[in-house]
Amino acid sequence: MTTATERLTRLLALVPWLRARPGVYVADAAREFGITERQLREDLELLWVCGLPGGSPGDLIDISYEGDQVTVVDPQTLERPLRLTADEAMTLVVAAKALAHVRSSTERDALDRARHKLEAAVAVPLGGVEVALDRPVDDAVLTDLRAAITGSRRVHLRYVVWGRDELTERDVDPMRVLYQDGRWYLEGWCHSAAGMRMFRVDRITGLRVLDVPAAPPPDAVPRDTTGGVYRPSPSDVRVVLALSAAARWVTDYYPAESVAPGEDGGLLLTVRAADPSWVRRLVLGLGGHARIVEPPELVEEVHGAAIQALAAYESPL
């Protein structure tokens, strides 16, 4: 069954297509759009009562029939096919570049060809636009991780814990790699933490496949990621942040428990943090565009860190 959105898209494409082919046969037009002749005639009957505001005969799309041939006499500004806007085109280019980091080299070539055609087709030149993505994943790391999982081998990781700004060394029994929410993850039994852990692959700075069998405990099972990778614990610290309008982008990068309107176009963001140190660094980095509302102890901690930082600027060299 055709949805209203699908039909509207077809109607918007149908008018300029017919306009460029006066006297085209109904059967040929129906075949071109992949619909029956009856559907095409119903579309034409709908177009007859569409047009510019006013609704008088001179404001409506004018279509003429001659036997089984149809001609659009007056398209009412729908002379040209729909074109992507610059924002729409840029969205597709960004998506293609992001997807190129996920697919194999053969599929990546096809994506690049499609992207070049898109850039050539849009009115706004995009060839010189550079899209900055997160640190790309090394294909060799993914290959080694998959080989370790297939061969049931333990791996040694050099892994950056961003929340603590710390480079760690750990042995992991890998169980799966998955692509979720635009990122690659490794999930496995971490011997340092003595538990199941999820690691972002782009934060793995070193990897060795060990000649040691992977042996996760029988009760170690991958988490359900249907609702996303992030799974806060009830024991995590509940933090409420007040963001200015200029810092609303934070909600796109950090999983939130809730988001509510704030003052002057800002937001009240509630997050859960197992280690609140990353929240402290975030707030200090945002300057006056973010402040911690609660918990009180974290408010005091950030206040003290800010005073310390300001004092360092005032100290003589």
Residue 196, SS3 per DSSP: strand
| Rounded average pLDDT over 194-208 | 89
* pLDDT, the chain, mean: 81
What is the domain partition of the chain in residue ranges? Answer: 4-74, 86-121, 139-213, 237-314
Contact 302, 292 (CB under 8 A): yes
pTM of the predicted structure, to 2 decimals: 0.47
Strands 24-25 and 69-74, how do they pair? antiparallel
Report d(CA 168, CA 177) in Å as an integer. Answer: 20
The residue assigned the tokens 């194999």 is 104
283 pLDDT band, cuts 50/70/90, is confident
Q: What's residue 150's pLDDT?
A: 92
CATH class name, domain 139-213: mainly beta
Cβ atoms of 67 and 4 closer than 8 Å = no
Question: What pLDDT score does 136 carry?
Answer: 62
CA distance 65 to 95: 43
To the nearest whole percent, how much of the chain has pLDDT over 70? 84
Residue 25 main-chain phi, psi, to 5 deg: -75, 145
Question: 33-37, 54-58, 88-92, 147-151: lowest mean pLDDT where?
Answer: 54-58
38: enclosing H helix or E strand: helix 37-47
Most confident of 78-87, 123-132, 163-172: 163-172
* 201 within 8 A of 142, measured Cβ to Cβ: yes
Query: In terms of CATH architecture, what is 4-74?
Result: Orthogonal Bundle (1.10)
Binning pLDDT at 50, 70 and 90, where does residue 210 land? very high
Q: What is the pLDDT of residue 88?
A: 75
Judge whether residue 312 has pLDDT over 90: no
Calpha distance 223→197 (Å, rounded): 9
CA–CA separation, 179 and 196 (whole Å): 17
**What is the reported pLDDT for 256?**
79
Rounded to whole angstroms, how far apart are CA atoms 187 and 173? 9
Mean pLDDT of 90-102: 70
Rounded Cα distance, 198 and 193, in Å: 11
The CATH code for residues 237-314 is 3.30.70
Q: Same topology for domains 4-74 and 139-213, yes or no?
A: no
Give the Cα separation of 233 and 223 in Å (integer). 13
Average pLDDT value for residue range 194-223: 90
pLDDT at 206 over 80: yes
Question: Residue 212 — pLDDT band, cuts 50, 70, 90?
Answer: very high
